[in-house]
């Protein structure tokens, strides 16, 4: 059997939290680009909850021709939330992936701050608490209006994503929002859709729910950190992939945590762990190389 790294030759990790960021990160983009050029991976997507990473990606790609850095934007309050202008400008700047709200989503915020003093909150929640102490309230975001329909600005964003052939990632939105968003996105011509970490607690979808999204051409994302930090057992993740088919999934890391490994290392560890659960080398190549490259138009 091929070495695990060879199974991922030309692949992408589409979920990397690198510095500069508002939180401490294990590596910055220069570190990450150097690691990519020494690995079999072709590139990575720069995830940031608060800013567009288009400019960073363009500079990295000029500095490191052997690394294809992908610019992204996440539609949280720092960029105006569900803001069509931000998406249009991001697209013009080279962004290829648009995450719908993550940490500022109403559903995610309710989960993180449910009044349980013993809850282990997400890494980014510290910023929300610090801002609250300073009297700065972060608005929560919901894709749906009071009647349960997608807001006009969401429809405008979908049209922009379709026009520029960008990737739509669902972020941390609720099931109710996602089951409205994905069909409408497909209807409006969005061809590339990722259901963000489907085995993560706040974005957990059953196999049957995942199949509903797949019917619209979506890919289901599984992340290394979900397993590594104990949020879901590996056999469950592997069984989900087997049930819906590797052709309908991607794997990434969601790494950047200072206490965990580097993303290129995480991709290999995750792949090997999944193969130990019965997935094949061909499955790994499909999820780490073929599907991410298709999403990126490579």
Q: pLDDT tens, 244-256?
A: 999 999 999 999 9
Strand partners, 144: 150
Q: How many CA atoms lie within 13 A of 206 on its CB side?
A: 2
Total structural domains within the chain:
1
Q: pLDDT tens, 177-187?
A: 999 999 999 99
Around Cβ 117, how many Cβ atoms within 10 Å?
4
Joined together, the tokens standing for residue 35 give: 């690691």
Mean pLDDT of 44-63: 97
Give residue 115's pLDDT band: very low, low, confident or very high (50, 70, 90): low
CATH number for the domain harbouring residue 162: 3.20.20.140
User: Whole-angstrom Cα distance, residue 48 to residue 45?
Assistant: 10
| pLDDT at residue 119 in the model | 67
| pLDDT at residue 132 in the model | 80
User: Whole-angstrom Cα distance, residue 64 to residue 176?
Assistant: 41
Q: 1 pLDDT exceeds 60? A: no
| pLDDT at residue 121 in the model | 66
Max Cα–Cα distance, the chain, nearest Å: 57
Percent of the chain with pLDDT over 90: 88
Q: 6 pLDDT exceeds 90? A: yes
User: Whole-angstrom Cα distance, residue 88 to residue 38?
Assistant: 34
Give me the domain span that covers residue 89.
4-296
Q: pLDDT tens, 202-232?
A: 999 999 999 999 999 999 999 999 999 999 9
């Amino acid at each position: 059997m091929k070495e695990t790294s060879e199974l991922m030759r030309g692949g992408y990790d589409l979920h990397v939290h690198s510095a500069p960021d508002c939180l401490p990160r294990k590596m910055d983009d220069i570190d990450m680009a150097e690691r990519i050029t020494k690995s079999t991976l072709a590139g990575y997507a720069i995830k940031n909850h608060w800013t567009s990473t288009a400019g960073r990606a363009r500079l990295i790609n000029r500095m490191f021709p052997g690394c294809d850095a992908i610019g992204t934007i996440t539609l949280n309050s720092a960029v105006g939330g569900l803001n069509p202008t931000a998406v249009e400008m991001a697209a013009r700047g080279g962004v290829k992936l648009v995450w719908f709200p993550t940490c500022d989503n109403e559903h995610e915020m309710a989960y993180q701050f449910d009044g349980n003093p013993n809850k282990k909150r997400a890494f980014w929640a510290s910023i929300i608490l610090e801002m609250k102490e300073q009297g700065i309230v972060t608005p929560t975001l919901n894709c749906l209006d009071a009647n349960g329909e997608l807001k006009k600005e969401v429809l405008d964003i979908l049209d922009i994503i379709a026009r520029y052939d960008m990737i739509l990632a669902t972020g941390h939105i609720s099931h109710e929002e996602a089951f409205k968003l994905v069909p409408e996105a497909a209807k409006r011509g969005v061809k590339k859709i990722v259901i963000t970490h489907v085995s993560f607690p706040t974005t957990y979808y059953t196999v049957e729910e995942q199949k509903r999204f797949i019917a619209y051409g979506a890919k289901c994302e599984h992340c290394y950190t979900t397993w590594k930090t104990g949020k879901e057992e590996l056999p469950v993740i592997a069984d989900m992939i087997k049930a819906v088919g590797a052709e309908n999934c991607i794997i990434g890391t969601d790494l950047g945590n200072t206490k965990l490994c580097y993303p290129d290392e995480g991709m290999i560890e995750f792949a090997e762990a999944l193969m130990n659960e019965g997935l094949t080398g061909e499955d790994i190549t499909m999820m780490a190389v073929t599907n991410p490259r298709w999403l990126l138009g490579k």
